[in-house]
Amino acid sequence: MGLQYISHNDIDFKKWDEVVKNSESGLIYSLSFYLDVVTHKSWDALILDDYRAVVALPINRKLFGIPQLFQPPFTQQLGLLGDYTPNELELVHSEVEKKFRRISYPFHFSNAVSIKKKTNLIIDLNRSYADIEKGFSSSLRKRLRKTLDVQIQKGDDVNQLVSFYKEQLADKVSLNEAQYSIANSLFTKVLENELGFIRQVKYHDEIMAIGMFLRFNNRIINVFGASVSSDKFPNAMAVLIASVLRENANSNQVFDFEGSEISGVQTYFQSFGSVNQDYPVLEVNRLPFWVKMLLKLRR
Domain residue limits, the chain? 3-119+279-298, 121-276
- Mean pLDDT (whole number) for 152-165: 95
Residue 230 has pLDDT above 80, yes or no: no
d(CA 94, CA 248): 40
Residue 19 has pLDDT above 80, yes or no: yes
CATH 3.40.1350, applies to 3-119+279-298: no
What single DSSP character describes residue 60?
Answer: E
User: How sure is the predictor about 39, in pLDDT bands with cuts at 50, 70 and 90?
Assistant: very high
3-state helix, strand, coil in the chain (%, to 5): 35, 30, 35
Q: Pick 254 or 25 by higher pLDDT.
A: 254
d(CA 270, CA 121): 7
| pTM, 2 dp | 0.93
HSE-CB for 289 with a 13 A CA cutoff: 0
Quote the mean pLDDT of the chain. Answer: 92
d(CA 151, CA 130): 20
d(CA 148, CA 146): 7
CATH fourth-level superfamily of 121-276: Gcn5-related N-acetyltransferase (GNAT) (3.40.630.30)
Summarised one tens digit per residue, pLDDT across range 179-225 is: 999 999 999 999 999 999 999 999 888 999 999 999 999 999 999 99
Written as one string, the DSSP assignment of 131-163 is: HHHHTS-HHHHHHHHT--S-EEEEE--HHHHHH
